[in-house]
Amino acid sequence: MNQVSFWSSNLPKIEQTLGAIAIFFAILGAIFYIAGKVNGRASRPIATFIFLGPAVLLLFVGLVVPAVKTILFSFKDASSIKFIGIKNYQWIIDNPEMHKVIWNTLLWILITPFATTALGLLLAIMLNRMKRESLPKSLLFMPMAISFVGASIIWQFVYNYAPEGQPQTGLLSAIARTLGFTPPNWILNQPLNTFLLMIIFIWVETGFAMVILSAAIKGVPDDIMEASALDGATGWRLFKGITFPMVRPTFIVVFATMVVTSLKLFDIVRTVTGGNFGTSVISNEMYSQIFVRFDTGRGSALAVILFVLVTPILIYNIRNLRRERTIS
């Protein structure tokens, strides 16, 4: 009975999934075949349309329209019915709690991308010198494979705090006690707690930075390294003169990805402190406003502030990209 109900409820899902993949490729194959028959003038625009069309449509519907709606909503009231001008922004400006949230967000953008990318680069360089790099590399990358729900459970066993006289189940508290001083209640301790949350982020994302930068370092042609080494370039000078300039584009890509991730990320804050104890960030506050307090207006205004905060980094990146594209 149990077996029967198991298959009858799960088999359709598997069929649906495999069916959808098959249909997707069948349609794609048919379009490619038919469009491939077209010759002459029309062939180029048709190819552009077919290659680019699906992506543009999906992006328009899934991201552009919501982004525009968000900007509109940020000038409307809680249930998005009437326009209330800049009141939502006024609320953010007047509210000391929100100042703290914006300040925390700035700390996240300033610290975590730099920490993850720099540590990732350091590890990538050192791994490059090792004979057996695959095991440490895999272990360092492992946190990337763990969901934030999982990560919050894992770090509970590090940051957990028990008052004096009770058994200590948090690793950090136990270490502090062994070293002879009384551990604080880590998660309550401001502003230390924000940095403790950042450590979780760094723990998760450094593997990503390391793996990509490591691939980039391996891409530096051997003969260049060799030539400069023969010229007497050593250690730091070799790194500064040759290695870093060669991996700089990758470094920037990773850095930019980390900035965006650190901004949008709300899972760590949400699962570990729920935004309490002065650790909230804009993305968490935005989610609370929209989905817990049902104030779409304020939530949207916070989202717009988030856009504005990333814009400088975005412009810098696009400038870099443009330079690259004109070279190639």
Q: Two tokens at 17?
A: 């999934």
CA–CA separation, 327 vs 194, rounded Å? Answer: 42
Using CB under 8 A as the binding rule, whether residue 182 contacts another protein is answered as no
**Contacting another protein (CB under 8 A), which of 55, 179, 180, 182?**
55
* Site residue total, another protein (CB under 8 A): 149
Q: Two tokens at 37?
A: 């028959």
Please return the burial class of 21, using the count of CB atoms within 10 Å of its CB with bins 0-12, 13-18 and 19+. Answer: exposed
**Contacting another protein (CB under 8 A), which of 157, 192, 224, 245?**
157
Using CB under 8 A as the binding rule, whether residue 312 contacts another protein is answered as no
**Contacting another protein (CB under 8 A), which of 171, 192, 224, 323?**
171
**Per-residue interface string for the shown chain with another protein, residues 89-128, x marking contact by CB under 8 A:** ------x-x-------------------------x-xxxx
Contact 112, 201 (CB under 8 A): yes
What sign has the CA pseudo-torsion 303, 308, 312, 318? positive
Span of 15-23, 98-106, 107-115 interacting with another protein by CB under 8 A: 15-23
Using CB under 8 A as the binding rule, whether residue 180 contacts another protein is answered as no
Minimum Å gap between C-beta 188 and another protein is 6
Using CB under 8 A as the binding rule, whether residue 305 contacts another protein is answered as no
Minimum Å gap between C-beta 84 and another protein is 10
**DSSP states along 13-39:** HHHHHHHHHHHHHHHHHHHHHHHHH--
CA–CA separation, 57 vs 109, rounded Å? Answer: 31
Site for another protein in 264-293 (CB under 8 A): 264, 266-267, 270-271, 273-277, 283, 286-288, 290-293
Torsion of Cα atoms, 137 then 139 then 145 then 151, to 10°: -140
Using CB under 8 A as the binding rule, whether residue 191 contacts another protein is answered as no
Span of 100-108, 109-117, 168-176 interacting with another protein by CB under 8 A: 168-176
Using CB under 8 A as the binding rule, whether residue 42 contacts another protein is answered as no
Contact 193, 274 (CB under 8 A): no
CA–CA separation, 251 vs 237, rounded Å? Answer: 18
Using CB under 8 A as the binding rule, whether residue 170 contacts another protein is answered as yes
**Contacting another protein (CB under 8 A), which of 61, 86, 93, 224?**
61
Helix and strand numbers (H, E) in the chain are 15, 0
Site for another protein in 123-152 (CB under 8 A): 123, 125-131, 134, 136-150
Site for another protein in 20-39 (CB under 8 A): 20-21, 24, 28, 32, 35-36, 39
Beta bridge pairs of residue 76: 83
Using CB under 8 A as the binding rule, whether residue 328 contacts another protein is answered as yes
Using CB under 8 A as the binding rule, whether residue 41 contacts another protein is answered as no
- Name the residue among 252, 256, 260, 270 with its Cα closest to residue 306: 260
